[in-house]
């Protein structure tokens, strides 16, 4: 960089000492070609690295959000299952159930327990075991309630009991919470699936070996059966 003071062009103005003067002309900054090449080469490589790191963190954050959404669904499914079991147990001493219904209740209890135990992997991904346990619980819910409520109709005095009415309301509330949690899960999963296929984010997603996340597609008939049979 050129000096702001030009010592050679400055002349003493008195016998008492040297009195430099600032130059009044503009001084251009000069960098040799090699220096420019090194700098721009670093710029070209460093910027994509920072962007790549940003996208890696973004994908991980999105995966954790989706895993949390799935855990919320599991919690609500397990809660609904426990309330259904409580309702069955609360009236079992007053009703005569068919033997296969009680077997179905036992299987349902086992499925509910697996949903609570198997949620997500430690790395934040949704485990295959959790998906299977969740699906098994869903597949058993509507048939169990359908058969249970069919026999329950023969006992109107039990149907009007406060405990049963309260459990009915709680089960319906769980249904609404499950539907809300599914919508949130599907929304975040859809955004994630779109992002990993959008260029240039797809390059980062490919390096992370990411795959699309399956959406919840519960049968509408299952939900209608549960809601309709509770009252």
CB atoms closer than 10 angstroms to residue 184: 15
**185-217 residues labelled b (16+ CB within 10 A) or e (exposed):** bbebbeebeebbeeeebeebbeeeebeebeebe
φ/ψ region of 31 (left if φ > 0, alpha if ψ in -120 to 50, else beta) reads: beta
Report the pLDDT averaged over residues 157-180: 76
**Token match 């939900």: residue?**
223
Report the pLDDT averaged over residues 39-43: 75
Burial label, 77 (beta-carbon count in 10 A; 0-12, 13-18, 19+): buried
Is the pTM value of this prediction over 0.95? Answer: no
Q: To the nearest 10°, the Cα dihedral for 31, 32, 35, 37?
A: 110
Structure tokens of 19?
A: 């009195």
Per-residue confidence (pLDDT) for residue 113, from 0 to 100: 73
Mean pLDDT value across the chain: 73
Per-residue confidence (pLDDT) for residue 225, from 0 to 100: 47
Domain coordinates in residue numbering, the chain: 73-229
Residues 21-31 pLDDT 10s: 655 666 555 66
Higher-pLDDT residue of 71, 117:
71
Residues 60-114 pLDDT 10s: 999 989 888 888 887 888 788 887 777 777 776 666 666 667 777 777 777 777 7
DSSP H or E stretch at residue 53: helix 33-92
Per-residue confidence (pLDDT) for residue 187, from 0 to 100: 92
Percent pLDDT > 70 in the chain is 65
Q: What separation in angstroms does the CA of 101 have from each of 73, 150, 222? A: 26, 11, 18
Question: How far, rounded to the nearest angstrom, does the alpha carbon of residue 97 sit from its chain's CA centroid?
Answer: 41
Report the pLDDT averaged over residues 208-230: 64
Q: What is the DSSP string of 113-175?
A: HHHHH--B-TTSPBPHHHHHHHHHHHHHHHHHHHHHHHHHTT-HHHHT-HHHHHHHHHHHHHH
Q: CA nearest 92: which of 174, 155, 19?
A: 155
Burial label, 53 (beta-carbon count in 10 A; 0-12, 13-18, 19+): exposed
**59-68, 157-166, 174-183, 218-227: least confidently modelled range:** 218-227
Higher-pLDDT residue of 81, 15:
81
């Amino acid at each position: 960089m050129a000096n702001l003071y030009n010592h050679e062009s400055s002349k003493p103005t008195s016998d008492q000492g040297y009195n430099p003067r600032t130059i009044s002309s503009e001084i251009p900054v000069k960098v040799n070609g090699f220096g420019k090449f090194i700098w721009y080469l670093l710029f070209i490589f460093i910027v994509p690295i920072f962007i790549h790191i940003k996208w890696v963190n973004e994908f991980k954050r999105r995966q954790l959000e989706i895993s949390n959404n799935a855990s919320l669904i599991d919690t609500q499914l397990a809660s609904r299952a426990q309330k259904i079991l409580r309702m069955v147990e609360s009236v079992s001493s007053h009703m005569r159930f068919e033997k296969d219904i009680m077997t179905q209740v036992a299987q349902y209890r086992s499925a509910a327990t697996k949903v609570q135990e198997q949620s997500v992997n430690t790395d934040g991904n949704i485990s295959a075991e959790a998906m299977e346990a969740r699906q098994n619980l869903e597949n058993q819910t509507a048939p169990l309630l359908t058969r249970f409520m069919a026999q329950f109709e023969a006992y109107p005095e039990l149907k009007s009991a406060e405990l049963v009415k309260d459990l009915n309301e709680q089960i319906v509330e769980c249904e609404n919470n499950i539907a809300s949690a599914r919508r949130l899960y599907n929304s975040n999963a859809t955004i994630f699936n779109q992002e990993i296929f959008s260029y240039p984010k797809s390059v980062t997603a490919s390096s992370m070996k990411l795959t699309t996340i399956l959406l919840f597609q519960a049968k509408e008939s299952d939900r209608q059966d549960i809601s309709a049979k509770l009252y």
